[in-house]
Structure formats: structure tokens, C-alpha cells
């Protein structure tokens, strides 16, 4: 479902409120459309939103703002499609177009991620703008297009069935939503259908994989999941015995009936009897309008140690046919060897280019790093790595979970790159909360949704200890003394160390901080942050851009960002960060002075501007940094806009660290914010 902002809104604040109301109530993209508005007006809307909402926003004008805001993508009306080459689109962003005829869509100079076709019915928002009944009779043409098309114009919940039977992927809504009283908006949005996927997969009697877990994952992400059984398996958690394929006529009848009445954009193909069955299923799904097919090649079920034969050499013709038709293949390393004869990313990219298919090489079987899982999305244009923490837990059906999550996000009209990234984050969140018990099914994912990491933002935030010790044992002892004295925020700063050295030290500190339920951040190293399973990362202006860090880490991690002047604020506020380190307060002995001294006045000025930001909901917390001494705490905390302080040298070089930390904690606790 696509929602378009109402053109009659006059106030920027009203438009921002509309976006929040819609994005909070349903799974959809919001097209930010303000006819005649300036770039400054668009910027005001985006600035007034909490950056987490930017992922829902599609820009309908002023595309240069892509360089400043991490929005979902852009929309081009048909009169502007020639501009597509000049739009600085990142791999994780989408481009959509609008048209008024099938011919316009057929003649596009590029393939968009999705399109809007209008008007199907008489407009609700534009009086006298009549619908085009011919657009309800173009199912065959819509099926042949390589991208999904959403119906626009006079859409109401009651018209969804007619739109679906006409072959549209879904609806784009304008007048019906905004003509409702504000209090009835959530109820009206709920009458529109959720995004939907189809899974064609095996039935696992243990319910740990196959259609059972696909449905659970999709539903957990608020996506409707239709299912067709491809195979029945005889298996338990201990052993895999056999499979029995669903008869082809039964499969065909199920798919035809389902997809004729309930079209989907994205389908996932799981366990099949053989490649011939897979080829038939994919061909039928394509003929019935499915645009994006994910093939999760189950070549070695978890309960068996036998991998299917080398399909690359034995069934090349069938495999090539399949690769030419699917959009994404998700093998692990043994499956990649069986399918392609290699698990080398460069070789796999050549295969991806030849067949115009994406390959997600899953890294769970690669034990090169004991603390990281690296999944690699290999496309014709590049190789995109995704890093997640390696949890020492055995959960049946993880491959099914991942591909079902990718399908769900893809059905929400995220790009493939973004869908894979979000799915990896989602699974990492599930694994983090699962008990490590053998032969245990995946428990309800929603039980574990709360972020343990983000909870640290609301407790003991006043004092952050930034380490400056390079000797591992001395560093460990100093952090131990800090925690023993009552400190609960530690930032591991090892500027001259390698990532491997930060991981080694971080793992020691992670075990230590866990004993105190304390927060551990790592300075300027996202990979180490993930490997250690730290609570977050602190970034300087010369480090990884905060928007990129959020994409890599996901929403569960804390991100802090350094600001040295008012000029740095726009970048910080446009990013989805949790706190801003403002400084330096005075000259510091622990790092080279790279920015002018701000003092109390400069820090207060920046802090006040952040707190007064015209933004819906929350703003980042403020941490004063740089050369802070124990005697400064009272002065700094007398400013109500400062939420915490970060201290390094005063703790590192204290003759009695415990006493110094206790004094700082007493002074900070005297000024509750």
C-alpha cells in the first residue's frame, strides 16, 4: 500500500504529522507530495520528523535532498522520467514512476522498482477528475511488466477486490484517507490490505522450517502470507527420512486459484522434489503475475548430513532456466558449491551477471570468524556484505526465516539491498533473545522484541567513561574499578588498534560489563561493535557517516555522534542517532585538539538548539565531552539541556579512581534531567 500526502495541506507541521500518523498505523510507503513547495519546505518536513520515519518517505520532488536525508527513495511523474539518470540513488533506495496508460509504462527508458497507474476510478481529492475504466481491463499487460504496479485514483477499501482481480499489486491512496476525521484515520487504514507474500515450500512436521515458520515470520512483520505445500516430509528434529512431492496438477490448481484472486508481488520457493518441479512452479508463478521470486535451495535439510548432487555439472540446463527466471537465490556455502561449483564471491558475481539474478551467499557455515556472520548479497552491480553477531545458538530453520523475512520486506517495497539488510537485523534480534536450548522451536519473535541495548539510554546515562589506555590488562583493571565504583557507561576507545585487537579487548570488557548490567560502546569501529555484541558505537565526524552506521547496525544499537559546532548539527539531526557528544569543553590531554574549544557557553548553545528543534517526538540526548574534570560536573549539569558528561583523562589519571568516579556520580545525580 502506498499513501500520498494531501496536496491541500498548507502547514509543514501538518504534513509531518500526516506522515507520522500513517507510518505509525500501517506498513506502507508515504509519498511526500507538496505541489509548488520549495526545497526548503521539503527540508522543513524532513527535519520535523524523527529520522526513523525517513525510511517510510518517498520524495516526489527536490531529489537533491537524497544527499542529506536517508529516505526510502524517489517518485517520478511521467513527465519527469527522463531525469532518472541524474538522480543520485543509493543501492538501498528505490525509484518509482507514475503513468496514465499501459503504453507509458511499456515505453519507460528504465525499469523502476514499482509504478503507479491512474486514474482507475473517479477521483476523491480532485472534483471532476474521472476514472478510466480501461485501466481495469489490462490484467495481461500488467502481468507482463517486470515490476509491480499500484492502482491510484478514487481508491477505497471496497474497491480493493476489483483492483486485485485486475492484476494490480496493490493500491495507492490519497483522497479516501485524508477525507476521514483524524481520530478515525487508524481505523480507516486498517481496512486496507496488508502487504502479502506467497511461500511455496515443504511441510515440516516439527514446525521449525517450511511453510510453518515462513508464515510466522511474515505475520510477525505484519505481512500476509499465503502458502502452497510443495512437499511433505517425514522427519523429526533428529533425522530426515524422505520427501513426497505434491502432485503437479494439485500444485497448479492451488497456485492458479490463489494468485488469480490474491495477486502477490513477492514469492518464496523453498523445498522442492527436484529442479524440474522448481522450474514448473516458477514458470507458473511468473505467468500468474509474481514479479520477484526468491529461491531458497534446500539441498541439505538440517536433520540430514547428505547434500544433494552437484547440480552445476549434472543439471545445468534446468538450473540455468531457473536462474533466468528467479530474482534471488539464497544458498549457504555448501549449497553454493552444489549449485554453482564455487562459493567464491567473484565467480558467483559472474554467474549473477550472466543470468541477471542476485545471489545471497549466507555466511552461517563460514567459521572464519568465531564472532561474526557475514552474508554477502552478490548482484550484477556489486557485492554487499551484511554483518551480524554470531550467537552460539542452534535454531532449526534459520534459512527459511531469513528468506521469509527478505520476502516480507521486499513486499513492503524496500529495495532488495535494504530488504536483505533489514532481514539480517531482524534475525539477529530474534537470535539474541532466544534461549540456547537444543531441539527448541523458534519462540514467538515478538516476545524478544524489546531492545536491551537501548534501555541503557534511560538509566545511568549521566556519566560515560571513555578509555584511553592501550595496555589490555591495565585497561581492563581501570574499567573494573570504574564499574565497581558505580559507573555504568563505558566507551572503549583504541584509536591505534586494529579491528581484531578491538574485538579481543571488547570481548573481555563485554563479559565484565555484563556482570554489572553496564553499557559498552566501541569508538569508531562498527565491525568490532557487532562482533563483540556491544551496546553501540560512538562516531566522530571523520568516521563512518551516522546514516550508514544505522543501516549497518539496525535499530537495536545505540549510536552516538560528535558535534563540534552549530554547522555540524544538520548532519547529526538528519541521522537516526541516539545521543550527540558536544565539545570540546576545554583542551584535552587524551587526544589531539581538532576543534575549537566550546566551553560552557558553546556547549549550551548547541544543546539548546537541539532541544528546541521543531521535531515530532524525541530528540537525541546531549553529552558534554572534552577535557571535563570532576569539578566541572556541577557547572555542566546546572544546564538543563545537558543530559550527561563523557570523561576520560580525569578518570584515567586519578590517583584514586574509585573516589573520583563516586564524586562524579554524586555530582551528576544532584541534577536529575
492 is in an annotated binding site: yes
CA-closest candidate to residue 194, choices 215, 177, 176, 170: 170
591 is in an annotated binding site: yes
Place of cell 514448473: 280
List of residues 6+ apart from 474 with CB closer than 8 A? none
Burial state string for 597-631 with b = 16 or more CB within 10 A and e = fewer than 16: ebebebbbbbbeebeeeebeeeebbbbbbbbbebe
403 exposed, middle or buried (CB, 10 Å; 0-12, 13-18, 19+)? buried
589 is in an annotated binding site: yes
Q: How many residues appear in the chain?
A: 673
11 is in an annotated binding site: no
318 is in an annotated binding site: no
CA-closest candidate to residue 467, choices 482, 453, 452: 482
590 is in an annotated binding site: yes
- Joined together, the cell numbers standing for residue 631 give 569539578
Whole-angstrom Cα distance, residue 316 to residue 562? 54
| β-pair type (240-245, 558-563) | unpaired
495 is in an annotated binding site: yes
* Structural element, H or E, at residue 227: strand 224-235
Contact 71, 93 (CB under 8 A): yes
Whole-angstrom Cα distance, residue 493 to residue 478? 13
Whole-angstrom Cα distance, residue 250 to residue 158? 32
List of residues 6+ apart from 200 with CB closer than 8 A? 227, 228, 229, 230, 251, 255, 267, 268, 269, 270, 281, 285
Whole-angstrom Cα distance, residue 426 to residue 406? 10
Angle at 578 between CA 574 and CA 580, to 5 degrees: 75
Order of strands, sheet of 328-329, starting from the edge strand that comes earlier in the sequence: 240-245, 224-235, 196-203, 266-269, 292-295, 328-329, 358-361, 372-378, 383-389
**First-to-last C-alpha distance (Å) of the chain:** 41
627 is in an annotated binding site: yes
Contact 55, 72 (CB under 8 A): yes
Whole-angstrom Cα distance, residue 365 to residue 408? 24
77 exposed, middle or buried (CB, 10 Å; 0-12, 13-18, 19+)? middle
List of residues 6+ apart from 161 with CB closer than 8 A? none
Burial state string for 457-489 with b = 16 or more CB within 10 A and e = fewer than 16: beebbbbbbbbbbeeeeebbebbbbbbebbbbb
523 is in an annotated binding site: yes
Three-state SS annotation for 484-521 = HCCCCEEEECCCCCCHHHHHHHHHHHHHHHHHCCCEEE
CA 500 to chain centre: 26
Which residues is 8 bridged to in the sheet?
none
Which residues is 463 bridged to in the sheet?
645
494 is in an annotated binding site: yes
Please give the annotated binding residues for Mg(2+), written as ranges. Answer: 524, 543
Please give the annotated binding residues, written as ranges. Answer: 491-495, 523-524, 543, 562, 588-591, 627
Amino acid at each position: 500500500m502506498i499513501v500520498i500526502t494531501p496536496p491541500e495541506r498548507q502547514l509543514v507541521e501538518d504534513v509531518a504529522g500526516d506522515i507520522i500518523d500513517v507510518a505509525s498505523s500501517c506498513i506502507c510507503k508515504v509519498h511526500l507530495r507538496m505541489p509548488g513547495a520549495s526545497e526548503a519546505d521539503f527540508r522543513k518536513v524532513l527535519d520535523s520528523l524523527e529520522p526513523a520515519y525517513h525510511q517510510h518517505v518517498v520524495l516526489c520532488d527536490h531529489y537533491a535532498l537524497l544527499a542529506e536525508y536517508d529516505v526510502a527513495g524517489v517518485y517520478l511523474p511521467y513527465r519527469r522520467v527522463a531525469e532518472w539518470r541524474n538522480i543520485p540513488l543509493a543501492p538501498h533506495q528505490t525509484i518509482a514512476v507514475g503513468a496514465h496508460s499501459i503504453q507509458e509504462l511499456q515505453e519507460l527508458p528504465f525499469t523502476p522498482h514499482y509504478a503507479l497507474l491512474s486514474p482507475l476510478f473517479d477521483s476523491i481529492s480532485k472534483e471532476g477528475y474521472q476514472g478510466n475504466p480501461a485501466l481495469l481491463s489490462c490484467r495481461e499487460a500488467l502481468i507482463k511488466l517486470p515490476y509491480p504496479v499500484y492502482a491510484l485514483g478514487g481508491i477505497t477499501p471496497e474497491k480493493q477486490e476489483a483492483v486485485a482481480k485486475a492484476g494490480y499489486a496493490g493500491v495507492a491512496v490519497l483522497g479516501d484517507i485524508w477525507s476521514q476525521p483524524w481520530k478515525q484515520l487508524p481505523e480507516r487504514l486498517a481496512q486496507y490490505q496488508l502487504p502479502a507474500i506467497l511461500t511455496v515450500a515443504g511441510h515440516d512436521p516439527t514446525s521449525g522450517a517450511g511453510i510453518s515458520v515462513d508464515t510466522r515470520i511474515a505475520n510477525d512483520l505484519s505481512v500476509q502470507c499465503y502458502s502452497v505445500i510443495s512437499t511433505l516430509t517425514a522427519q523429526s528434529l533428529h533425522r530426515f527420512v524422505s520427501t513426497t512431492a505434491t502432485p503437479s496438477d494439485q500444485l497448479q490448481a492451488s497456485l492458479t486459484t490463489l494468485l488469480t484472486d490474491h495477486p502477490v508481488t513477492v514469492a518464496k520457493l523453498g523445498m522442492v522434489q527436484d529442479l524440474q518441479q522448481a522450474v514448473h512452479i516458477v514458470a507458473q508463478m511468473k505467468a500468474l503475475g509474481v514479479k520477484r521470486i526468491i529461491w531458497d535451495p534446500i539441498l541439505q535439510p538440517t536433520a540430514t548430513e547428505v547434500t544433494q548432487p552437484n547440480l552445476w555439472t549434472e543439471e545445468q540446463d534446468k538450473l540455468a532456466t531457473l536462474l533466468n527466471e528467479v530474482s534471488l537465490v539464497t544458498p549457504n556455502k555448501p549449497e553454493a558449491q552444489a549449485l554453482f561449483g564455487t562459493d567464491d564471491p567473484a565467480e558467483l558475481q559472474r554467474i549473477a551477471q550472466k543470468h541477471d539474478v542476485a545471489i545471497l551467499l549466507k555466511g552461517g557455515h563460514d567459521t572464519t570468524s568465531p564472532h561474526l556472520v557475514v552474508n554477502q548479497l552478490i548482484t550484477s552491480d556489486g557485492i554487499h556484505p551484511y554483518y551480524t553477531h554470531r550467537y552460539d545458538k542452534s535454531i532449526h530453520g534459520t534459512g527459511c526465516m531469513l528468506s521469509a523475512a527478505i520476502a516480507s520486506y521486499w513486499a513492503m517495497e524496500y529495495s532488495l539491498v535494504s530488504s536483505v539488510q533489514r532481514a539480517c537485523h531482524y534475525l539477529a534480534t530474534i537470535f539474541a533473545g532466544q534461549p540456547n536450548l537444543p531441539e527448541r522451536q523458534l519462540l514467538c519473535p515478538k516476545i524478544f522484541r524489546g531492545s536491551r541495548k537501548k534501555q541503557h539510554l534511560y538509566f545511568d546515562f549521566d556519566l560515560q567513561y571513555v578509555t584511553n589506555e592501550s595496555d589490555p590488562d591495565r585497561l581492563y583493571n581501570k574499567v573494573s574499578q570504574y564499574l565497581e565504583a558505580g559507573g555504568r557507561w563505558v566507551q572503549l576507545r583504541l584509536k591505534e588498534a586494529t579491528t581484531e585487537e578491538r574485538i579481543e579487548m571488547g570481548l573481555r570488557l563485554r563479559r565484565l560489563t555484563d556482570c554489572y548490567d553496564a553499557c559498552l560502546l566501541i569508538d569508531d569501529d562498527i565491525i568490532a561493535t557487532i562482533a563483540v555484541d556491544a551496546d553501540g558505537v560512538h562516531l566522530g565526524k571523520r568516521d563512518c557517516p551516522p546514516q550508514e552506521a544505522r543501516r549497518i547496525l539496525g535499530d537495536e544499537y545505540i549510536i552516538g555522534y560528535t558535534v563540534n559546532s552549530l554547522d555540524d548539527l544538520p548532519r547529526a539531526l538528519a541521522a537516526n542517532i541516539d545521543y550527540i557528544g558536544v565539545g570540546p569543553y576545554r583542551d584535552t590531554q587524551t587526544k589531539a585538539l581538532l576543534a575549537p574549544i566550546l566551553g560552557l557557553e558553546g556547549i549550551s548553545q548547541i544543546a539548546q538548539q537541539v532541544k528546541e528543534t521543531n521535531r515530532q517526538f524525541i530528540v537525541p540526548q546531549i553529552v558534554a565531552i572534552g577535557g571535563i574534570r570532576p569539578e566541572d560536573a556541577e557547572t555542566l549539569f546546572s544546564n538543563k539541556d545537558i543530559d550527561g558528561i563523557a570523561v576520560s583523562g580525569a578518570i584515567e589519571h586519578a590517583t584514586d579512581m574509585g573516589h573520583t568516579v563516586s564524586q562524579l556520580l554524586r555530582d551528576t545525580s544532584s541534577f536529575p534531567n
